Amino acid sequence: MILRLAEVVAVLDQIYDPRTAEDWDRVGLVTGDLEQPVRRVLLAVDPAQAVIEEAVEWGADLLLTHHPLLLRGVHGVATTDPKGRAVTRLVRAGVALHVTHTNADVADPGVSDALAAALGVLDPGPLEPLNDEARVKLVTFVPVGSVEAVMDALAAAGAGTIGDYERCAWTIDGVGTFRATEAARPAVGSVGSTEHVPETRVEMVVPAGSSAAVVAALRSAHPYEEPAFDLVPLASAVGRRGTGRVGRLPEPITLEAFGQRVADSLPATPAGVRVAGDPYRVVEAVAVCGGAGDGLFAAVRRSGADVYVTADLRHHPASEALEHGSPALVDCAHWATEWPWLRDAERLLLGGLGGEAATVETRVSKVVTDPWTATARSQS
């Protein structure tokens, strides 16, 4: 069996829900035909020209990147522009491009989970938790003989998913009573008679955005002409999804030793790793954020972290953060903090494809797309 791009995209959207991306972000399919076959998938941080050439030369059908190619609007894709050359090359070679950016940042597991794991950080939880999507609870009453069929239809429409479990429901048996009027066409009993029917009360959790589809499925699958049901709003739950992660080291170490651990654990880049703080201070609680993370300083302080690992730290935010006394800072190359996620994404994609993963070959790009190529130190 040959996988279609549509099937691979569906798995990626389940792992990295596009609805959790920031409003300004541009995620999802950029180029490609949903009906095209997918036999080879290349994963990379950036859709840079060198990565695209690697995808074409390797014969990839799909390039999965973290960073968007077309984050800002364009009015054309002529080859006179780098973006246009990239799009044209992808289309001509038949390589689809799919982007998972901020939706991969907040996923569970996401970009910062991979960074935390690379550094040996244990039990990471979100620095800024993401409230789960609003949910409702569907309550309905089904004749005993139709319960399984109705539950199957509700689950297919989006009801009953809790974490990694599907078709979750709670049931209890009872007796329903009703009397059909002259205008009714009752599936059970007759017009004018009071009926007492063994029924099962069924409760299933439904994402608020799927409630209309679930109700339509209920009306279609339920044997009654007018099925009774309630939609009860549920409080938003705070789960493991969110921005950044905070956890702990197996044992306390000095900041100097931890900085070296970071340098040894991430891909090497010319700029290396910068450390701010007393090199002899002891650190154990560690906060991380893959990519640019200087917008999370308040959350990092609330977390009680001893040290914060992120990228792209600017002078003033870093200086002001240090004035608070904690945490110490470890600043890395943007690309290097996000590269560990590629292996996670590869593993999760193959796991999501199930048995069909055997038909797909994957590769993590070895092209270094960190823009800095050298450093120079003063000789005076």
Structure tokens at 278: 């007393």
Please count the other Cβ atoms lying within 10 Å of the Cβ belonging to residue 79: 12
Q: How many domains does the chain have?
A: 3
Mean pLDDT, residues 328-339 taken together: 97
Determine the pLDDT at residue 34.
Answer: 96
Please count the other Cβ atoms lying within 10 Å of the Cβ belonging to residue 265: 17
Determine the pLDDT at residue 141.
Answer: 96
Determine the pLDDT at residue 184.
Answer: 85
E-strand spans in the chain? 3-4, 28-31, 37-38, 40-44, 62-65, 96-99, 122-131, 135-143, 170-179, 194-207, 229-234, 238-254, 274-276, 282-292, 307-311, 328-332, 361-364
> What is the per-residue pLDDT across 217-228, written as a single tens digit (0 to 9) for each?
999 999 998 899
E-strand spans in 134-237? 135-143, 170-179, 194-207, 229-234
71 near 26, Cβ under 8 Å? yes
The answer, yes or no, to whether residue 377 has pLDDT greater than 90, is: no
Q: If you ran DSSP here, which 8-state letter would residue 16 be given?
A: S
The answer, yes or no, to whether residue 240 has pLDDT greater than 90, is: no
Q: Which amino acid is located at 151 in the chain?
A: M
Same domain? 182 vs 118: no
> What is the per-residue pLDDT across 97-123, written as a single tens digit (0 to 9) for each?
999 999 999 999 999 999 999 999 999
The answer, yes or no, to whether residue 133 has pLDDT greater than 70, is: no
Same domain? 179 vs 93: no
Q: Measured between alpha carbons, how far is 144 from 201 in angstroms, rounded to an integer?
A: 9
Residue 252: which CATH number?
3.40.1390.30
Structure tokens at 264: 């040894």
DSSP letters along 290-335, please? EEE-GGGHHHHHHHT-SEEEEE---HHHHHHHHHTS--EEEEE-HH
Same domain? 354 vs 262: no
Same domain? 120 vs 52: no
Q: Is 130 helix (H, G, I), strand (E, B) or coil?
A: strand
136 near 234, Cβ under 8 Å? yes
Longest alpha-carbon distance in the chain = 102
Range of the domain at 186: 135-236
Same domain? 349 vs 316: no
Structure tokens at 314: 């600017």
- CA angle, corner 148, sides to 172 and 187, nearest 5? 90
Structure tokens at 380: 């005076």
Q: Which of 158-167, 180-189, 198-207 has the lowest mean pLDDT?
A: 180-189
> Which long-range contacts (C-beta less than 8 Å, at least 24 apart) are formed by 317-321?
318/276, 318/294, 321/294, 321/297
Q: Measured between alpha carbons, how far is 138 from 154 in angstroms, rounded to an integer?
A: 10
Q: Which amino acid is located at 251 in the chain?
A: E
DSSP alpha helices (H): ranges in 232-278?
255-265
Whole-angstrom CA distances from 354 to 5, 53, 360 are: 15, 29, 11
Distance of CA 307 to the CA centre of its chain: 25
Buried b (16+ CB within 10 A) or exposed e, 101-112: bbbbbbbebbbb
Residue 201: which CATH number?
3.30.70.120
Mean pLDDT, residues 37-62 taken together: 98
Mean pLDDT, residues 279-302 taken together: 96
> Is residue 69 situated within a structural domain?
yes
Check residues 256 and 187 and name the one with the higher pLDDT.
Answer: 256
Residues 6+ apart with CB under 8 A from 50: 367, 369
Same domain? 124 vs 247: yes
Confidence bin at 238 (pLDDT 50/70/90): low
Please count the other Cβ atoms lying within 10 Å of the Cβ belonging to residue 271: 17
> Is residue 106 situated within a structural domain?
no
The answer, yes or no, to whether residue 134 has pLDDT greater than 80, is: no
Same domain? 121 vs 256: yes
Same domain? 126 vs 247: yes
> What is the per-residue pLDDT across 15-43, written as a single tens digit (0 to 9) for each?
999 989 999 999 999 999 999 999 999 99
Please identify which residue in the block is written with the tokens 């992660």. 245
The answer, yes or no, to whether residue 326 has pLDDT greater than 90, is: no
> Is residue 354 situated within a structural domain?
yes
> Is residue 380 situated within a structural domain?
no
